[in-house]
Structure 1
């Protein structure tokens, strides 16, 4: 009981510090060591070992495995922003659908950008000025902008839509030897459900505001989007995203599956299936980056600055996620984690249910989809694989369930992307978190639960 109380206090502290805006890069190791002091037993006498070995091994392992994804993704996002492709896509969708479809337009713009590999943080920066003007023109309350951005960027294109290069869809590949297109029918179904339910909720909120005669609110003179902005052609703008999709499909489904001999990896205790999915994403984004550079070389007057900014943009989310994984590695080394793990696994002998619950809980504990997903699969993937094989459940299904489950409790109030989005919009949690919670927590959890029930019925009964 004392260990459970200590763990709850530890989680409460890291949540509180994150909510107050303190970086997890600083707080995660401190809170992890405090937790060891409180409930660590013998480990409390070896704090420096816990920090330099246990914590840093988890931290460095995440950097090793996913730095190339974060780096190429951040550079791609920065280039899309610099050459105007991101704004072109967002502006085209919002204007084509019209003011009466403002919510749907902003959601689809965000979805297309994140599906193309643009980071969540960059999407918020790109979408806000456009959504700001469109919401004013449609007389929709500004407080609904963060929830709209969250639906388009933090939900189905992050975890469900087959082929998305977002890290939450990349991480399971290493454990299940799958690719980003795993279980496409499940992914597409979940995506449509999240989109429909999210749009329904936000539309309901708009109607509520209209009944209460609530308009947009106050628009500052420096806010807005320049309608006369000279932005690139939409077909050119979406080409890099199409290239990523096609390249990823080719490398993951054809090139590495049928044209490459991976036997040389045996001496490294690796298999081609376990890492080719990650390679496919890296190569695809890199190809798209090269094409953007070739097409826009004359426009990029200060390429070195743009690349450096892209590199810098990759560090904070990478290190923040790595810090959370390091924290999780320390928690995982404590006796209480074995108890927690047993409790989760004993809830059900169904691996689909066990995986969905454990991923969601750990992602909620860490307030990080990528960090929580990595911690969970590091500890439990072998168990899930064994359980699923006995029931003839494919690795692709386990991949998709894990990815889906990571997109639920991760966006609690202390989540970094939530805090950043609210800051970009100039709103507080009190103003706008309710709609973020519904669109990126409640709806994804409900959809995941529904998918788990249906999938379990198919495989277990």
Structure 2
């Protein structure tokens, strides 16, 4: 019983201390060893647990996903510094106009994140344009963060097939799938999320305007980049299209025809790695194309490559630390009780998977971290249960991805804190709207997706 208390206690401490600003890199190993000590006492073998369980899991995660984190960060940096990200946002905003300011912001963020640009880059790129559109439409500024969150943290992050975001890449390693897993289920889920979010925000905007609320200018001037200084829209969006198309061609057309028997000597098979390989190659090509199309816009290409590389490190190390913590927890005898409780919630693998991913994403404040902990511990059981129930691994992939985008954006989530800071808003002013579009609606969508998945929609 003390071991179970230790697991729960360390999870709560992880959430609380991370919210208070403590580094996950430092917290994760300390709390993992504390859980081991409470579970096994003097037999915990703390040093062996640290080097042979925590660090081994840390290294394995970095091996599997570092290229995606690295290339995604570099691609985002190049899209940002070249002005391509802003050019896409400007182009979309111009198409929709101030009359559809909310939709323009959501679609701008959606295009960028669906193309692989990081959530943080999107927030910085879109905010000035969103502020300008909202000012022209006299929409209260407090609705900018939820509009960006709807376009960045929801349907393009977890639902739409092919998205190169890490939340869609992680399940590939566990279920032998690719980024386009369960396309119909993903498309339906994406439509539900974006439609419900826009309807909700439009209703709340009208209510606020009915009370006499409008856009409040900040004391400082908005630094909005003029359209003349930006690259052309079509050259800006071309690398994003390349990521999506090339990823599909490689994953669904090229690799299935290749003889991967040579991989046996590497201890793996083509189905396990082809999804990751497709994504890596697609991002590399997109990076080269971005450099080629915008080479005259960079002060120093090498400088931007270095910046993107450095910016990828904290993200991968933080997430790998959370995974190391999860593996230590999973190795404890006490975790068998926790695991059986999770699996005992439902005999349906989709329901059990959604609950475990959601809860752990909420506790860690990380969609990728929560999903990784859950799948590392339980993916084999879910595959077995799904096989017995006649459910495709592709559905397991899509439900895991969708579930990771629910409770992850609680108030302590780093992306939420950053978004509010960029927009100059507080939790009190904007978080309740963010909660509905990035927590409540995605969770309800996951429920619908589970029902459809059980009826064979793939």
TM range (shorter): over 0.9
Q: Aligned partners of 1:226, 1:245: CA distance in 2, in Å?
A: 28
Question: How far apart are 1:2 and its partner, in Å?
Answer: 4.2
Q: Aligned partners of 2:96, 2:352: CA distance in 1, in Å?
A: 41
Question: Which residue, out of 281, 289, 292, partners 2:287?
Answer: 289
Change (3 A) 1:229 1:6: farther
TM-score with structure 2 setting the length: 0.96
Change (3 A) 1:312 1:44: farther
Residues 413-461 of structure 1, C-alpha deviation per residue, up to 9 Å, x if partnerless? 11111111122222222222111111111110000011112322448xx
Comparing 184-193 and 414-423, the one that deviates more: 414-423
Q: Aligned partners of 1:132, 1:43: CA distance in 2, in Å?
A: 58
Matched with 2:229 is: 230
Q: Aligned partners of 1:50, 1:217: CA distance in 2, in Å?
A: 54
Matched with 1:383 is: 381
Matched with 1:304 is: 302
Residues 126-149 of structure 1, C-alpha deviation per residue, up to 9 Å, x if partnerless? 111221222222221222211111
Q: Aligned partners of 2:5, 2:132: CA distance in 1, in Å?
A: 48
Change (3 A) 1:458 1:281: closer
Question: How far apart are 1:43 and its partner, in Å?
Answer: 6.2
Q: How does 1:94-173 map to 2 (within 5 A)?
A: 94-173=93-172
Gaps of 5+ in 2: none
Q: Aligned partners of 1:314, 1:407: CA distance in 2, in Å?
A: 21
Matched with 2:17 is: 17
Q: Aligned partners of 1:329, 1:34: CA distance in 2, in Å?
A: 14
Residues 227-264 of structure 1, C-alpha deviation per residue, up to 9 Å, x if partnerless? 45411111111100111111101110111011x21000
Q: Aligned partners of 1:136, 1:46: CA distance in 2, in Å?
A: 60
**Residue 40 of structure 1 aligns to a residue in which SS?**
helix
Is it true that 1:395 corresponds to 2:410 in the alignment? no
Question: Which residue, out of 424, 444, 453, partners 1:455?
Answer: 453
Question: Which residue, out of 429, 432, 435, partners 1:431?
Answer: 429
Q: Is the 8 A contact 1:363 1:406 kept in 2?
A: yes
Q: Aligned partners of 1:175, 1:228: CA distance in 2, in Å?
A: 44
Q: Aligned partners of 1:135, 1:151: CA distance in 2, in Å?
A: 16
Matched with 1:90 is: 89
Q: Aligned partners of 1:43, 1:291: CA distance in 2, in Å?
A: 57
Matched with 2:259 is: 261
Q: Is the 8 A contact 1:14 1:28 kept in 2?
A: yes
Matched with 1:28 is: 28
Question: How far apart are 1:48 and its partner, in Å?
Answer: 2.4
**Residue 425 of structure 2 aligns to a residue in which SS?**
coil
Q: Is the 8 A contact 1:324 1:368 kept in 2?
A: no
Residues 385-406 of structure 1, C-alpha deviation per residue, up to 9 Å, x if partnerless? 1111122211111111111111
Q: Aligned partners of 1:154, 1:232: CA distance in 2, in Å?
A: 26
Q: Aligned partners of 1:321, 1:397: CA distance in 2, in Å?
A: 24
Q: Aligned partners of 1:100, 1:335: CA distance in 2, in Å?
A: 59
Change (3 A) 1:69 1:92: same
Change (3 A) 1:342 1:213: same
Is it true that 1:368 corresponds to 2:366 in the alignment? yes
Q: Aligned partners of 1:110, 1:101: CA distance in 2, in Å?
A: 14
Comparing 282-291 and 11-20, the one that deviates more: 11-20
Q: Aligned partners of 1:253, 1:330: CA distance in 2, in Å?
A: 36
TM-score with structure 1 setting the length: 0.95
Gaps of 5+ in 1: none
Q: Aligned partners of 2:439, 2:220: CA distance in 1, in Å?
A: 33
Matched with 2:194 is: 195
Q: Is the 8 A contact 2:106 2:147 kept in 1?
A: yes
Q: Aligned partners of 1:254, 1:205: CA distance in 2, in Å?
A: 45
Question: How far apart are 1:220 and its partner, in Å?
Answer: 2.6
Question: How far apart are 1:331 and its partner, in Å?
Answer: 1.8
Question: How far apart are 1:376 and its partner, in Å?
Answer: 1.2
Q: Aligned partners of 1:266, 1:337: CA distance in 2, in Å?
A: 33
Comparing 92-101 and 44-53, the one that deviates more: 44-53
Q: Aligned partners of 1:264, 1:169: CA distance in 2, in Å?
A: 27
Q: Aligned partners of 1:4, 1:140: CA distance in 2, in Å?
A: 49
